[in-house]
Amino acid sequence: MDTIEVFAQVAGLSVRAAVMRFASAGVPVFPCVPSGKRPLVKHGFHEASIDFGQVAAWWRRWPAANIGIPTGAASGVEVVDVDVNSNGTGFPAFRAAHREGHATGWTTLVRTPSGGMHAYYPADAERPQPSWQAARAHVDFRGAGGYVIAPPSVIVRPNRLRVPYRLIVASGSPSESVDATRLRNFLDPSIPTPTSRAPSDIRQNVDARVLAGWVAARSEGERNRGLFWAACRLAETGTPPSATLDALRPAAEHAGLEPREIIATIRSAYRTTRHAQTREAETVRADSDRVARGQAGRVLS
């Protein structure tokens, strides 16, 4: 059974019925908080399963849990997430990318509770593509190291309205993988290509959106260190911890970090930065005192 058939079949089902349909089709799933997106299992999308017994046990324990699906090779799908929020919409950027041939070939379109959209593409198992975030374009990519919430899961909006993920259309036309690097460069060429170290343009320009894009592209083994570095840069500029969490948490989740680890890392970055700034201030004061004493000695002599 392919992805198109699965999404067509879960339309109109309850969450508990849909999750079993996904599992029976070979699409691994895991539970997320009811009306939210945070994983309920310790290792998040890494625990996604198609085992009927495991899946049934999860939804007996959390009957209102939302459905999480890992993206990339694990599920065979990659997702372009078109975001809509108070800061803007990603639809103009997505339409432009589609016109230029950078976002064609989707298999399924899903309306998200924010009014945005998930465009599903087949993943190429031989060419894993990491997740990333193009914040300025309001478009994210969910590939290796990422996950999405699937229909008919429900999110509670700020106005307390419960809004489900809904199937828009499942295309019967031939589909193809999306070139995530080419799409990213088209959407926001200023976001640097993933590297193990932060590029010089990020070092020189502390922009939360650019930092978030860089963090989202970290691979396993670089994610925690990259988040720590980015949080330190924002802390150095006087950005409040809550604002740094808002800016970097979605990117870090895209990279595969768990919520508790993200919060702990950002707290550690602020503690480290405060200590470094305190030591620097103490050094400056000590130097100033030495200079003052030297000048006083010359006056008195």
Please report, for the chain, the start and end positions of each structural domain, with discontinuous segments joined by +. 3-186, 190-283
Residue 35 zone, left/alpha/beta (φ > 0; ψ -120 to 50; rest): left
94, 132, 133, 261 from 227: Cα distances, Å: 27, 13, 14, 10
| Topology annotation, domain 3-186 | Prim-pol fold (3.30.2250)
Q: Measured between alpha carbons, how far is 270 from 94 in angstroms, rounded to an integer?
A: 36
Q: Which band of pLDDT confidence, cut at 50, 70 and 90, is reported for residue 169?
A: confident
Name which of 67-71, 78-82, 158-162, 183-187 the model is least confident about.
158-162
Sole residue written with tokens 């849990």? 65
Average pLDDT of the chain is 83
Report the SS3 class of residue 116. coil
Q: Which band of pLDDT confidence, cut at 50, 70 and 90, is reported for residue 91?
A: very high
Rank 50-59, 152-161, 274-283 by mean pLDDT and report only the highest: 50-59
Show the CA angle centred on residue 248, arms to residues 28 and 280, nearest 5°: 140
pLDDT of 57 reads 97
pLDDT of 301 > 50? The answer is no
pLDDT of 287 reads 55
pLDDT of 299 reads 47
pLDDT of 279 reads 61
pTM of the predicted model as reported, rounded to 2 decimal places: 0.65
